[in-house]
């Protein structure tokens, strides 16, 4: 098993806002990767390809060359989270669908030429699905049919991307709206799965049922805790991407489940801030130490 962390601070919040921060430039991502790898000692760092499409000044050819140089000198591994802002292979709008497919292909080609990438993780749908789900005037039956149509589009888009993507590297991730359709498409098309534990928690899914049912396809876990908040009026909501051990997860039992049967993929801590990453790495390493001591 390889332990990874996403590029914290660059991951936190809405990436579009990074466009107006004058303190960031095309070397910021490289510095973040180096800081994570050297300070936390993780095996893998996840690169946010969102920046390539919505903050292109922050993820340039010069950035890629520097990332490659650092990988060659340090041995750090990379995974890539493909863009989920703006691009959408589930779009029913033909120009957006076609442009999304071509953009994903171009990003994968560009990064494959320069870097050693373990996995490319992607959402099958994002903003378009949220727009459908948020329409109060639309009957639930109509929403369901539109969502089904969007996943048909997504499956067709994935087929197109797989024509060029390196074999075994493209992973489908479950989003907060559900795991069943994305994972069914992954099984049908033969891609791997990135199983996001925090998203499953938000969905209220049975973790054991989902993980055990897809263990043969899971190549990567995204791991983060979720905090429960009570709003005015008593309504409860969950906020994810917080440090492990600070929320509702039983971290030990969850790690037991994830790492069962000799999982040898990537365990990617996906949190928004440096402090959360540092604490989460500590929690996982403490678990691994206890586990090895009991064997």
Tens of pLDDT, residue by residue, the chain (295 residues): 999 999 998 887 778 889 999 999 999 999 999 999 999 999 999 999 999 999 999 999 999 999 999 999 999 999 999 998 888 999 988 999 999 999 999 999 999 999 999 999 999 876 666 677 666 777 888 878 888 898 999 999 999 999 999 999 999 999 877 899 999 999 999 999 999 999 999 889 999 999 999 999 999 999 999 888 777 777 777 778 899 999 999 999 999 999 998 999 999 999 989 999 999 999 999 999 988 877 6
pLDDT value of position 266: 98
pTM of the model: 0.92
Is 227 in contact with 242 (CB distance < 8 Å)? yes
Is 270 in contact with 196 (CB distance < 8 Å)? yes
Where b means 16+ CB within 10 Å and e means fewer, 231-266 reads eeeeeeebebbbbbbbbebebeebbebbbeeebebb
CA 126 to chain CA mean position, Å: 12
CA 63 to chain CA mean position, Å: 21
pLDDT value of position 186: 96
pLDDT value of position 103: 96
Quote the CA–CA distance of 248 and 225 in Å, as a whole number: 7
pLDDT value of position 15: 84
Structure tokens at 253: 């039992």
Is the C-alpha dihedral spanning 203, 207, 213, 214 positive or negative?
positive
pLDDT value of position 274: 95
pLDDT value of position 11: 83
pLDDT value of position 128: 66
Go through the domains of the chain in sequence order and give each one's CATH number: 2-294 (3.20.20.150)
pLDDT value of position 29: 97
């Amino acid at each position: 098993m390889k332990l990874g962390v996403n590029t914290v601070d660059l991951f936190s919040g809405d990436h579009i806002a990074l466009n107006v921060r004058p303190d960031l430039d095309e070397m910021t991502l490289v510095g973040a990767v180096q800081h994570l790898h050297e300070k936390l000692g993780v095996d893998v760092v996840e690169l946010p390809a969102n920046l390539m499409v919505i903050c292109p000044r922050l993820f340039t050819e010069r950035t890629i060359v520097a990332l490659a140089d650092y990988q060659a000198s340090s041995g750090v591994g990379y995974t890539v989270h493909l863009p989920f802002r703006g691009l959408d292979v589930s779009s029913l709008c033909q120009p957006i669908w076609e442009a999304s497919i071509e953009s994903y292909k171009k990003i994968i080609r560009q990064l494959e030429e320069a870097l050693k990438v373990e996995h490319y993780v992607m959402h099958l749908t994002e903003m378009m699905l949220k727009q459908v789900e948020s329409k109060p005037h639309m009957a639930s039956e109509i929403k369901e049919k539109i969502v089904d149509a969007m996943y048909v589009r997504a499956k067709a888009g994935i087929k197109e991307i797989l024509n060029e993507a390196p074999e075994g590297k493209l992973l489908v991730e479950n989003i907060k709206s559900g795991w069943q359709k994305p994972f069914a498409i992954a099984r049908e098309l033969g891609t791997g799965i990135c199983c996001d534990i925090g998203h499953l928690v938000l969905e209220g899914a049975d973790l054991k049922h989902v993980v055990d049912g897809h263990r043969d396809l899971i190549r990567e876990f995204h791991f983060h805790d979720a905090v429960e908040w009570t709003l005015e009026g008593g309504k409860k909501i969950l906020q994810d991407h917080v440090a492990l051990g600070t929320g509702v997860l039983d971290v030990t039992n969850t790690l037991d489940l994830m790492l069962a049967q000799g999982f040898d993929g990537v365990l990617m801590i996906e949190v928004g801030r440096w402090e959360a990453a540092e604490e989460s790495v500590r929690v996982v390493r403490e678990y691994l130490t206890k586990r090895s001591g009991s064997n």
